[in-house]
Chain A
Amino acid sequence: MSKTTLTIALMDPPYESENLTTAFRILDVAARRGYAINVFAYEGAAGLAFVRQTPHPNPVHGKTVAEENHPTTKDQVAALLAAAEQHGGKVDWVNCGMCVDERGVTEFVPGTRRGGPADFHAFVEASDNVLVIPTK
């Protein structure tokens, strides 16, 4: 049986909505099933894989950096890539090139790449299903 191919398009930037948590929950399941996963990170989502994200302490909670263990989406992206590989799948994560340029977030998690609308079009054509999670 051929491998299931799923494409997800994301638009929300990190730390602005719950959409990305939902997306990562879906992506985690897809990775555990060994799917071929395509992600088109568009507009604000182009910052998800930015490698210079840094965890911080939480003085309001009275927690140190280690205690707060603040999530970074770059770690989630890296974990997704590793999980897919572990389960026999793969992730083609495309960061919209113009989007990363205008935001200055041009350093990506290794294994993700720069791309554009043509990649999204190719993803759509090759996928069993496509899920678009737009910014509202």
Chain B
Amino acid sequence: MAKKTLNIVESAYRAVMEEQDDTILWLLAAMQGAGAEHTVVLRGNAVNYAVAGQGVPGLTVGEWKQTQAPQMGRDVLDLIEKRKIPVYVVAEDLADRGIERSELVPGVQLLSRTALPGLFAEYTLVAHW
């Protein structure tokens, strides 16, 4: 059985335009496909990843156009539904940013900061990205 790993993702929107996704969420999805057992907690600015329907115009430089700009809400939904990776969002970080629960993609679970230590105890490894 794979080691259960809790991944706290805090760094947000770092190179997502050039990579067309978030490098950590991508890595976890790929590892899950290889048999890993991951859980994700979005905290800080990364809570915005769970907002549904977000998008960005692709970069244009002269005649060159980006056609596959990142869709972070879609990628979070993909983690939950396709990869079966539980995704938590820190409720206080959402509130700090004025984001309502109703704005999030389905399947995201809210978690209080005070509940985090209890969650840590359930995992073999905890990674803070």
A is bound by B: yes
Q: Please list the residues of chain A having a beta carbon within 8 angstroms of any beta carbon in chain B.
A: 14-18, 20-21, 24-25, 27-28, 31-32, 58-61, 63, 67-71, 73, 75-76, 78-80, 82-84, 86
Known: A28-B61, A69-B67. 4 other contacts (CB 8 A): A67-B68, A71-B20, A71-B66, A83-B62
State which of B13, B18, B60 has its C-beta within 8 Å of the C-beta of A15. Answer: B18
Query: Which of A24, A32, A67, A70 lies at the interface centre, i.e. has the most chain B CB atoms within 10 A of its CB?
Result: A24
* Chain B, 13-64, CB within 8 A of any chain A CB: 13-21, 26, 29-30, 33, 59-64
Contact size range, B: 20 to 34
B62→A71 contact, CB < 8 A: no
Chain A residue nearest to B26 in the complex (CB): A60
- Interface of chain A, helix or strand or loop or mixed? helix
Residues from chain A with a CB closer than 8 A to the CB of B33 are 59-60
CB proximity of A64 to chain B, nearest CB, Å = 11
B68→A68 contact, CB < 8 A: yes
A76→B61 contact, CB < 8 A: yes
Chain A residue nearest to B60 in the complex (CB): A28
Chain B residue nearest to A82 in the complex (CB): B62
State which of A17, A68, A83 has its C-beta within 8 Å of the C-beta of B61. Answer: A83
CB proximity of B7 to chain A, nearest CB, Å = 15
Q: In whole angstroms, how far apart are the Cα atoms of A31 and B27 in the complex?
A: 36
A-B contact list, 20 entries, CB within 8 Å: A15-B18, A15-B19, A16-B14, A18-B17, A20-B18, A21-B59, A24-B59, A32-B62, A58-B20, A59-B30, A60-B78, A70-B68, A71-B66, A73-B18, A76-B59, A76-B64, A79-B62, A80-B62, A83-B63, A84-B62
Residues from chain A with a CB closer than 8 A to the CB of B20 are 58, 61, 68, 70-71
